[in-house]
């Protein structure tokens, strides 16, 4: 449900804020091409597109119909403003806290030679 609503709102935003909503007028383009084809059967799609989109717009009998074609008029006005500010530099003072702890793991009367002497002894005969 969330995915579907996200896609819906994304499509709604794109169609409202860009000229992509002009693509919804493609059926009008096809119908108008068929109308021209009925008047002149030798006209190709490329000739039709050149006539209606390349160069100066001709004020002929079907001018109102020509203006209904996609991308003939711009009806999407979107004002987008960007604000650029001077970057602010923030400096932090690095403070190093040093903690010294001394641990005495050995007793003062501890002798390492005595410990080794009691652990490592030669083998005994039975």
Could you give the CA distance from residue 31 to residue 37 in angstroms, rounded to a whole number? 10
| Residue 14 per-residue DSSP state | H
Locate the domains of the chain by residue range. Answer: 22-102
CB atoms within 10 A of CB 37: 14
pLDDT in tens, 77-90: 666 666 777 778 88
The contacts of residue 124 (CB under 8 Å, 6+ apart) are none
Interatomic CA distance for residues 64 and 56, integer angstroms: 15
Q: Please give the pLDDT value at position 31.
A: 92
DSSP secondary structure code for residue 24 in this structure: G
pLDDT band for position 92 (cuts 50, 70, 90): confident
pTM of this prediction?
0.50
């Amino acid at each position: 449900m969330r995915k579907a609503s996200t896609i819906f709102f994304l499509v709604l935003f794109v169609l409202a804020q860009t000229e992509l909503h002009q693509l919804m007028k493609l059926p009008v383009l096809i119908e108008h091409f068929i109308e021209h084809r009925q008047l002149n059967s030798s006209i190709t799609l490329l000739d039709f597109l050149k006539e209606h989109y390349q160069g100066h717009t001709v004020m002929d009998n079907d001018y109102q119909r020509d203006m209904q074609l996609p991308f003939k008029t711009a009806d999407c006005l979107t004002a987008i403003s960007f604000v650029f500010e001077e970057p602010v530099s923030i400096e932090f003072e690095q403070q190093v806290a040093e903690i010294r702890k001394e641990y005495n793991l050995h007793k003062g009367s501890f002798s390492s030679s005595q410990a080794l002497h009691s652990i490592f002894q030669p083998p005994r005969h039975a």
